[in-house]
Amino acid sequence: MIRRSRTDRTPRVRPRTVLLTLAAGVALIAPTALVAPAANAAATTLGAAAAQSGRYFGAATSSFMFSNTQHTTILNREFNSIVAENEMKWDATEPQQNVFNFTGSDRLVAHARANGMSVRGHALVWHAQQPGWAQNLSGTALRNAMINHINRVAGHFRGQIHSWDVVNEAFADGGGGGRRDSNLQRTGNDWIEVAFRTARTADPNAKLCYNDYNTDGINAKSTGIYNMVRDFKSRGVPIDCVGFQSHLGTGLASDYQANLQRFADLGVDVQITELDVAQGSNQASIYERVTRACLAVARCNGITVWGVRDNDSWRRGENPLLFDANGNKKPAYNSVLNALNSVTPNPTNPPPTTTPPPPGNAACTASVSLNTWNGGFVATIRVTAGNAAIRGWTVRVTLPGGTAVTGTWNAQASGSTGTVNFSNVSYNGQLGAGGSTEFGFQGTGTAPSTTPTCTAT
């Protein structure tokens, strides 16, 4: 394969740059400025190389590893993103119900901040690594515990997390493409969307991801997840990204990149979240192909490897990481770095620009769907514009006595009891004629029984 180096490509833009500079102020330019500077040197660390295209390159770590000088020297030098391998999981953060422990995770976030790294949050809800008390819950008690956990943990780190794995590994292995059985799944099929909606309210600035393994190509499991994401996008469930763990063996599916792309085409970002590859003659080439696949998908935000050195890995016997047990760079490291350095910078996914709709005969309607349980409910409200575009909307809901709103997503609530006005937020007020959007709220007490009114502006 012929790889374009950065030197090859730089002159493509250089002549135009020089001409513009001359036109702007020829008298002020010293002669040396007329000589095109040397092409950018290739970046020498993974984080810097990934940053050239607006991406991050991260590693899983643990706060107790910070005292290991070799581990931490590599971590700080090479990576510009970190994720807690275990310390943000449910069993670590809420060892007893409603008693929270952020000792390790706070240290991790502080380390990231001190070293200019972003943080992936892993993972708010998962069938595994639940504390014992949660394993023993079911039904409404577990659902409410899940909501409380997300509110408290995502709320604690509000504003500090680049992307949260809101739900981890909820799909079954095997050919069915369906959900995995778990205590969470048995609380009702909507548990995943409730988790995402709760997370959006708790930390509106974090990207919210669904994360899973054995999704490294187009297969029944990844297609099951794809269908869920498509459904979520169509109904306004707040999902921003899908994580592909990529715990790989000695092969890589030929449609690995195509799989990332089909998710991106649904309107979500994609991230490689737990990459490690069994040591073998093709370890370096698999790492390279995964890296190139991410670089080729504009909505692929970055790559995280699941540990720093081989001896840090959960798959220690397979030596699956980029640094050996002595902290030396492996061939796989060089293949990743070269791949990151070889592509045309491609900043990820600039936010779409929206054009305000024209003024018209603004009107809207609201319809409610309810998921109730003993003592609580989730209301999902669809707002639909009339035959003219609208700039904003307010939905008025009358709550029964004793009922209170405990969380709202995709809308701003005026209060929590009695008559509550839910108004659009910045990103969902504008609707085309006949267009619709969804917002929701969860509450304690009895669900509202009257039809809400919708007012458009």
Q: Does 318 bind ligand 9MR (CB under 6 A)?
A: no
CB of 214 to ligand 9MR, least distance (A): 10
CB of 168 to ligand 9MR, least distance (A): 6
Q: In terms of CB distance, is 316 or 329 closer to ligand 9MR? A: 316
Q: Does 105 bind ligand 9MR (CB under 6 A)?
A: no
CB of 169 to ligand 9MR, least distance (A): 6
Q: Hey, how many other C-beta atoms are within 10 angstroms of the C-beta on 378?
A: 24
Structure tokens at 68: 């290991």
Q: In terms of CB distance, is 245 or 410 closer to ligand 9MR? A: 245
CA dihedral 79, 300, 125, 162 (to 10 degrees): 50
Q: In terms of CB distance, is 245 or 380 closer to ligand 9MR? A: 245
Structure tokens at 313: 């890995």
CB of 252 to ligand 9MR, least distance (A): 18
In the shown chain, the binding pattern of residues 201 to 230 toward ligand 9MR, with x for contact by CB under 6 A and - for none, equals ------------x-----------------
Q: In terms of CB distance, is 162 or 292 closer to ligand 9MR? A: 162
Structure tokens at 340: 């990151």
Residues 179 and 125: their CA atoms lie apart, in Å, by 14
Number of H helices, E strands in the chain: 13, 17
What is the set of active-site residues?
274
SS3 397: strand
Residues 347 and 340: their CA atoms lie apart, in Å, by 13
Q: In terms of CB distance, is 71 or 382 closer to ligand 9MR? A: 71
Alpha-carbon separation of residue 149 from 155, 195, 201, 439 (angstroms): 9, 10, 13, 21
Which residue in 68, 72, 101, 129 binds ligand 9MR (CB under 6 A)?
129
In the shown chain, the binding pattern of residues 237 to 276 toward ligand 9MR, with x for contact by CB under 6 A and - for none, equals --------x----------------------------x--
Q: Does 314 bind ligand 9MR (CB under 6 A)?
A: yes
Closest CA to 378 of 230, 249, 223, 188: 188
Residues touching ligand 9MR, count (CB under 6 A): 9
Structure tokens at 418: 């009695």
Residues 358 and 390: their CA atoms lie apart, in Å, by 8
Find the binding residues for ligand 9MR in span 163-192 (CB under 6 A): 168
Q: Got the DSSP string for 27-61?
A: GG--GGGGSPPPPPPPPSSHHHHHHTTT-EEEEEE
Q: In terms of CB distance, is 193 or 274 closer to ligand 9MR? A: 274
Q: Does 87 bind ligand 9MR (CB under 6 A)?
A: no
Quick one: how far is CA 229 from the chain centroid? 13
Q: Does 128 bind ligand 9MR (CB under 6 A)?
A: yes
Q: In terms of CB distance, is 8 or 173 closer to ligand 9MR? A: 173
Structure tokens at 238: 């707040």
Q: Does 85 bind ligand 9MR (CB under 6 A)?
A: yes
CB of 186 to ligand 9MR, least distance (A): 20
Residue at shortest CB range from ligand 9MR: 314
Structure tokens at 304: 């995280």
Residues 265 and 29: their CA atoms lie apart, in Å, by 46
CB of 211 to ligand 9MR, least distance (A): 7
Q: 317 Cβ partners below 8 Å, 6+ apart?
A: none
Residues that bind ligand 9MR (CB under 6 A): 85-86, 128-129, 168, 213, 245, 274, 314
